[in-house]
Every structure is written in structure tokens, then in C-alpha cells.
Amino acid sequence: MPFVKTENLRIGMMVSDDVYSKAGQLIVRKDSLLSRQMISHIKFYSIEQVNIYDGEMAMEIREAYENRNGAQTTQLERILKSEEYKVFKKDYTANVNMLQDSVSDIILRNTHVDPPSLIDETVKIFNKNQGYFSFFGMLHSMKQIDDSTFAHSVNVAMIARLIGTWSNYDEETLDLLTLAGLLHDVGKCQIPDEILMKPRKLTAQEYTFVKMHAQFGYDILKNQDLDMRVKQAALHHHERCDGTGYPFGLDITKLGDFECIIAIADVYDAMTADRCYRSGLCPFEVISFFEEEGLQKYHPRYITPFLQRIANTYLNSDVLLSNNETARIIFINERLTRPIVQLHKDNSFLNLIHNPDIYIQAII
Ligand SMILES: [Fe+2]
Ligand SMILES: [Fe+2]
């Protein structure tokens, strides 16, 4: 059971011993799968190293754990067994393949982008599924099947459309926003797969090259008969409202609404890429991630309602807390990651604002 230095901990590793702070407080329980929040806690308490199971051992324990807890399924598992998901998966895969073919035609044969046919399937899938509580879970699960740029682009298009819907955009603007999402990373087609798929850290030179995809994307689209906002989204989706993004370091005063919405959808989808653990993505972890990144990087008009909506979707959901107790979320506080919960064991209330050591580990 090797010790792993805190800076080398990764999401999904399994802890083989209880982790305590220097003051003797339990931070992470034995047999937990590390989440981003757990790693942040470990760092916060300046713990230098953690005991982790090696790969094979982790697999055995995970299987035994799952058999033992067979009766308790997670929300994600229920989604993946549903009929809606089967249909979604089929439609989604066909749509990603179609996008790939269309983008190849645009780049290699210089064909014109035909917005209605390009967005048609994405809009249909969105309309069929966005009402489902499980929409984000389904998008997330597709990451384990297809993590290509095209699948990412379909996800970004749908999440951007959802943000647009929440912002009361009209149908025509929603369609343009969807198109902007589908095409935002079109410039990545100019970056070789060996760099895009490289499992190890990119060299400084490679990273500089990858960052050029924003300009490449704009160059591919600039002579197309398209709304300027779609072209700008390809060029500016890595800009940040506080001026810390690339390629130009523009700030909120220079950025349009589309760029700001695509930036949020893009970060959300990229964040879900590195996790494939059983309980899926915990929405409260998403919120913490944006908070840790710095909310000033994102447009307040869009990031605030986006995170509030995510948190509110989980009102009345059952959750697993970091102390291994289960509870129901009954009130979302202004600090979104710290709701009031009601414990299943005795129906007592726990306000997570006043219990900073306890956090939500998974939606069950
Ligand atoms: Fe990008
Ligand atoms: Fe992207």
C-alpha cells in the first residue's frame, strides 16, 4: 500500500487508511475514492502524504464494496439503466459522428456551414432530455464512452443552450448559441492527435501550440457566412472576465455574451472529463471547483444563476456525507455548497455552514 505525496494525488484513487489532520481530526475515511473536494481538504490540512491502494487491490475492494452495497444504487446508476438513457446514447453517438463528418467537410472540402442541418440533431436531443433531472448525468456518462473533441463540442453546445434557456434567450439566439458551442473547438482539428491525446503533461512548446486552436478556429470560420458571435466564440472562449485568459487577455468589458457562456460550458465539460468513479459527478464539487478557480473569471450574469440552478436541482435529493451518514437536502443556503440537510438516522437537521468539516460526497 504505497504512500502517495499529496501533490500527486488524483481523483478516483482509493485511500487505504483513515487520514487524520495533525490535530487528530478525521479528514478522509479508509476505502474512500478520492474526489476533488477530498484532495482539497487534504491539502488544506497540510497533510503531506496519503496511503493509497495499488491498482489491483483497489479493484478488488471496489468490487467487494459494490457487492456489499448492492441494494443502494447511486443516482447515476439509476440513470444509466433507464430507457431514456438508451435512446439518448444512440442519438448522441449518431450526432457526434455527424458533427465529425460535417467539420471534416468544412475543413477539407471548404464546404459552407449550413447552421440548420448542423444544429438539428443537437437541438432535438436537447429538447427531448433537458427536462430530465438526469440530463447532466447522461452528458457526463458519455465521457466514458467518447472523449473526443466532437463529443466535447456536443456537450458544450447543449450546456450552453441550457444556460441560454435559463437566461430567457429567444429560440433564434439559442440556435446560434448551440452552433457556437458545436464549432467552438473547430481549430483543434489543426492540432495533431499525438499532442491532443498525450497522456503525459504537455511541454511548454506543445501547450503554446494547443492554445493556438482558438485562432485556428477563427481562421477556419472567418470567411463563412455566419453570425459574428459564432466566430468570436471560437476565438475568445478561453478568455476570462478578469483578463487572465488567452489568446489576447481580454476582460469582461471586451467580451460578448456568447464567449462568456461558452467559456462556462467549456470549463464545466472539461472538469467532468477526468472522473469516472461510481457515483458520478457531485454537483457540489462542480460548484466548489468554480469557486476555487475564482468566480471573477466568469460573467456574473451567467455563472451565478448557473451554479444556483445546479444546486437547486438537488433540493430534496438524498446524499452521502463525508462522515458516511446519509441525509436529504432540505434548504440551499447562499453558500451553495453548504446546504441544510436532514439526517436519515434521526431526522435531525444539520446546517453544513456551521459544520465546515462535513461535506457532501455524492448524490445517492
Ligand atoms: Fe478550446
Ligand atoms: Fe472546448
Predicted structure pTM score: 0.78
Domain boundary among 22, 40, 71: 71
pLDDT of residue 273: 61
Q: Which residues surround ligand 2, an ion (CB under 5 A)?
A: 185, 266
* Cα of 184 from ligand 1 centre, angstroms: 6
Domain boundary among 71, 89, 122: 71
- The domain that holds 177 is classified in CATH as 1.10.3210.10
pLDDT of residue 289: 85
Strand pairing category for 318-321 and 349-351: unpaired
Residues 82 and 45 both lie in one domain? no
51 has which bridge partners? 3
**68 pLDDT more than 80:** no
pLDDT of residue 363: 78
Q: Which residues surround ligand 1, an ion (CB under 5 A)?
A: 185
Contact 28, 38 (CB under 8 A): yes
Residues 171 and 257 both lie in one domain? yes
* Cα of 185 from ligand 1 centre, angstroms: 5
Contact 18, 26 (CB under 8 A): yes
pLDDT of residue 70: 47
- Return the minimum-mean-pLDDT range out of 24-33, 180-189, 322-331, 333-342: 24-33
Q: 124 or 70: whose pLDDT is higher?
A: 124
**297 pLDDT more than 90:** yes
User: Which ranges of 167-282 would DSSP assign to H, the alpha helix?
Assistant: 171-183, 193-196, 204-211, 213-221, 228-236, 257-271
Contact 184, 239 (CB under 8 A): no
Note whether residue 287 is domain-resident.
no
Note whether residue 305 is domain-resident.
no
* Cα of 153 from ligand 2 centre, angstroms: 6
Residues 24 and 172 both lie in one domain? no
* Cα of 187 from ligand 2 centre, angstroms: 10
Q: 274 or 98: whose pLDDT is higher?
A: 98
Note whether residue 288 is domain-resident.
no
Residues 175 and 131 both lie in one domain? yes
Look at the alpha carbons of 200, 201, 204, 206 in this order and tell me if their dihedral is positive or negative: positive
Distance CA 311, CA 333 (A): 10
* Cα of 86 from ligand 2 centre, angstroms: 26
Note whether residue 289 is domain-resident.
no
Residues 191 and 61 both lie in one domain? no
Share of the chain above pLDDT 70, in %: 88
Band (pLDDT 50/70/90 cuts) for residue 38 is: confident
Q: What is the mean pLDDT of the chain?
A: 86
**50 pLDDT more than 60:** yes
Residues 117 and 41 both lie in one domain? no
Domain boundary among 71, 89, 117: 71
pLDDT of residue 352: 94
Closest ligand by atom to 153 CA: 2
The 10s digit of each residue's pLDDT in 220-269 is 999 999 999 999 999 999 999 999 999 999 999 999 999 999 999 999 98
Number of alpha carbons in the 13 Å side-chain half-sphere of residue 357: 12
The 10s digit of each residue's pLDDT in 283-295 is 788 888 898 888 9
* Cα of 213 from ligand 2 centre, angstroms: 10
Note whether residue 92 is domain-resident.
yes
* Cα of 154 from ligand 2 centre, angstroms: 10
- The domain that holds 29 is classified in CATH as 3.90.105.10
Which of 105-114, 205-214, 311-320 has maximum average pLDDT?
Answer: 205-214
- The vertex-174 CA angle with 106 and 151, nearest 5°, equals 50
Share of the chain above pLDDT 90, in %: 49
Residues 91 and 40 both lie in one domain? no
Distance CA 275, CA 13 (A): 10
Contact 137, 99 (CB under 8 A): no
Residues 58 and 119 both lie in one domain? no
* Cα of 181 from ligand 2 centre, angstroms: 8
- Return the minimum-mean-pLDDT range out of 144-148, 242-246, 337-341: 144-148
Distance CA 198, CA 194 (A): 6
Residues 275 and 331 both lie in one domain? no
Residues 92 and 54 both lie in one domain? no
The 10s digit of each residue's pLDDT in 119-133 is 999 999 999 886 655
pLDDT of residue 281: 63
pLDDT of residue 59: 64
How many domains, in total, are found in the chain? 3
Distance CA 113, CA 226 (A): 8
Residues 66 and 81 both lie in one domain? no
Distance CA 155, CA 163 (A): 12
Residues 118 and 10 both lie in one domain? no
Note whether residue 180 is domain-resident.
yes
Note whether residue 295 is domain-resident.
no
* Cα of 322 from ligand 1 centre, angstroms: 34
- The vertex-344 CA angle with 272 and 347, nearest 5°, equals 130
Note whether residue 275 is domain-resident.
yes
* Cα of 245 from ligand 2 centre, angstroms: 14
pLDDT of residue 91: 92
Closest ligand by atom to 271 CA: 2
Band (pLDDT 50/70/90 cuts) for residue 134 is: confident
Structural domain including 47 reads: 3-71
The 10s digit of each residue's pLDDT in 160-218 is 999 999 999 999 999 999 999 999 999 999 998 888 877 778 899 999 999 999 999 99
Band (pLDDT 50/70/90 cuts) for residue 277 is: very low
CA distance from start to end of the chain: 29
Distance CA 218, CA 234 (A): 6
The DSSP output letter for 299 is: -
pLDDT of residue 65: 55
* Cα of 358 from ligand 1 centre, angstroms: 35
pLDDT of residue 64: 61
